[in-house]
Amino acid sequence: MMTMKKTLQNVSKASLDLLFPPSCSYCKEATVGSDKYLCQKCFSQLKFIKTPYCTCCGRVFSSCDKNHLCGDCLKPSWAFDKARSLFSYEEVIAGLIHNLKYSEVMTGFNTFRWLSKQSALLDDLTIPDVILPVPLHIKRLRQRGFNQALLLAKSLFSDDKKKIRHDLLARQVDTPSQTGLSGIERRKNLRNAFVIKNPSSLNGKNVLIFDDVFTTGSTIHECTKALKLVGVDRVEALTICRADKIFS
Which residues, 6 or more positions from 98, have their beta carbon under 8 angstroms from its beta carbon? none
pTM score, two decimals? 0.85
- Average the pLDDT over 32-46 and give the result: 83
pLDDT of 16 above 60 = no
Closest CA to 115 of 141, 144, 90: 90
Residue type, 93: I
pLDDT of 3 above 80 = no
- Average the pLDDT over 91-116 and give the result: 86
Share of the chain above pLDDT 70, in %: 81
CA atoms of 157 and 163, how far apart (whole Å)? 9
pLDDT for position 84: 97
CB of 189 closer than 8 Å to CB of 222? no
pLDDT for position 35: 65
pLDDT of 209 above 90 = yes
Is 3.40.50 the CATH number for 46-242? yes
CA atoms of 89 and 48, how far apart (whole Å)? 10
- Average the pLDDT over 30-56 and give the result: 87
pLDDT for position 13: 43
Domain ranges across the chain: 1-45, 46-242
pLDDT of 212 above 60 = yes
CA atoms of 158 and 233, how far apart (whole Å)? 24
Closest CA to 51 of 32, 69, 34, 65: 65
